Amino acid sequence: MKQRGGEIGEEKKVGLARALSKMGFCSRSDAAEKIRAGRVRVNGVVRRDIETPVRVGRDKIEVDGRGVAAKEFVYWMVNKPRGIVTTAEDEKGRETVYALLPKGVPWMGPVGRLDKASEGLLFLTNDTEWAARITAPEGHVEKKYAVQIGAVADETLLKKLETGVMDGGERLRATRATLVRAGEKNSWIEIVLEEGRNRQIRRMLERCGVEVLRLIRVAIGGVELGTLAKDAARVMTRAEVKMLKLGKHFQGLKPLDYTSKKNTRRRK
């Protein structure tokens, strides 16, 4: 899906770094680096203050001598496999999620993170305000995870996850934790979070003495991973983007079969 960027707040002044981000040119942190390096001009004058007020759509902004215009907003989703990292560039030379995208797509940033060992649904977009609404704790956008653990989950464990555990001075808790299926030595549980702190699920289960075997994000808000194949990427539909803009959640959606072949396919 594409939408025109830079339309909102054209008369309102915003900081220069935020303006570049709002226009879909780059992330706010990348914009700050470019500004401080003297690579950005506003109406012909080099500006090194990231808070320099500008009017998007009125003031002429240039980066490295080239004019910056509002980009078309684009929204993609990928099914991230284990073993790749959620970053544009990796100092260790590891494969990143951007290898899953076709060539020629505009700059996009990841909406939230999945660590190297985790799998599943990840959004990428150049609409930074849309992304911020999804990741902000006050937005209460739920994220659903399928987690295979090296133990048979019982009510005591599930209740403890919902009540919360302390780790590193933080109370970490799940909005909901339910048993999906259990074997003799391991089980699948479904964990829902409203705010995702760094490695939150792994940290919670570690504090409970439980090993995580697999961790798959299967839904964000009302948007499910569904049948999107491992390593695959696709453009999000207008309905999916709008659903998240409206803050709708996924209560009532049918449970996914996390152990089906289509969701456990290995990379070739």
Structural domain including 202 reads: 71-268
Its pTM stands at 0.77
Pair 245, 117 in one domain = yes
pLDDT value at 129 more than 50? yes
Instruction: Quickly state the pLDDT bin for 70 (edges 50, 70, 90).
Output: confident
The H or E element that residue 166 is part of is strand 165-167
Pair 159, 215 in one domain = yes
Instruction: Tell me, rounded to whole angstroms, the distance of Cα 203 from its chain centroid.
Output: 19
Report the Cα–Cα distance between both ends of the chain, in Å, rounded: 29
The H or E element that residue 207 is part of is helix 200-207
Indicate which residues carry an active-site annotation.
115
The CATH number that applies at residue 147 is 3.30.2350.10
Single out the residue in 67, 90, 110 at which a domain terminates: 67
pLDDT tens digits, one per residue of 200-252: 999 999 999 999 999 999 999 989 999 999 999 999 999 999 888 765 443 43
pLDDT value at 164 more than 50? yes
Pair 47, 174 in one domain = no
170 Cβ contact list (under 8 Å, min separation 6): 197
Strand order from edge to edge, sheet including 40-42: 45-46, 40-42, 61-63, 66-67
The CATH number that applies at residue 48 is 3.10.290.10
Choose among 221, 167, 213, 170: nearest CA to 188: 213
Pair 40, 78 in one domain = no
Contact 119, 88 (CB under 8 A): no
Single out the residue in 67, 99, 115 at which a domain terminates: 67
Q: How far is residue 268's CA from residue 262's CA, in Å, rounded to a whole number?
A: 14
Pair 178, 264 in one domain = yes
Quote the DSSP letter at residue 3. E
Pair 25, 132 in one domain = no
Helices (H), 37-188: 128-135, 155-163
Average pLDDT over residues 129-146: 87
Pair 11, 81 in one domain = no
Residue 218 zone, left/alpha/beta (φ > 0; ψ -120 to 50; rest): alpha
Average pLDDT over residues 40-55: 94
Pair 120, 184 in one domain = yes
Q: Which pLDDT belongs to residue 257? A: 45
pLDDT value at 119 more than 60? yes
* Count of domains forming the chain: 2
Helices (H), 37-153: 128-135
Per the structure block, which two tokens stand in for 259?
């152990």
